[in-house]
Amino acid sequence: MGKKPRVTEARGTKASTTKIQKTRGADLAEIGMAKKPRKAAPKIMAPASEPEPRSEKKVFDSLAAAASELDVPIQVLKKLKREGAPGFRGSRVYAEELLPYLRAREDMARRQGLPEDRESLECRKMRAQCERIEFNNHLAQSKYVHREILADHLGKFAGETVSILRQKLENEFPAASQGRTIPQIREKAKAVVDEILARFRAHFDGWTI
């Protein structure tokens, strides 16, 4: 029997196809239609936020520790925990989280006209202790200003303002206004206001409300 002829069309076809694809790609590149590589999507960065002032939140490791520090019987804390009051997580007690609940509890008892008993008095005392803790944290965050510091700044600013007004309006302004037009006088008055505002900013520019 004679030998069967070899089949070479498949190999030749593959090579021809590859060559055609390369040629077509080169042709497309010349006319600007070749596929461009995908660019990586830009990363979206969250805007940087300013760190908040640090404050130490009062956390008690146990009901016994909270009762001792807040000066209330431990039974009162246990009852609040059973009522579902916030601020109780595991064995820990978060004093500031208790405050809204204690205030609401007092308001409800007042609206209902309930008589005060020992438990309500203990809760009121605990509310006062929690408010003291909250106030100290706000003070650490500069949310309050000592009265003496505020009085000192206001006193200095008031004295400087009176001095400017007397000097500019009583002494300088009458002579400077003679023979001037209304726009010129207005410009002089604006300079006085601007000087007062500059003094104000010098005293309170670092303060935030």
pLDDT number for residue 3: 53
What tokens does 7 get?
Answer: 């089949």
Computed over every residue of the chain, the mean pLDDT equals 75
Alpha carbon distances (Å) from 20 to 35, 37, 89, 143, 197? 16, 21, 72, 76, 79
Question: Taken in order 116, 121, 123, 124, is the CA torsion positive or negative?
Answer: positive
pLDDT digits (tens, 9 = 90+) for 37-67: 454 443 433 334 444 444 467 889 999 999 9
What tokens does 94 get?
Answer: 């978060």
60, 92 in Cβ contact below 8 A?
yes
Mean pLDDT of 178-200: 87
One-letter amino acid of 189: A
pTM given for the model: 0.45
Q: Which of 154, 155, 106 is nearest to 130 (CA)?
A: 106
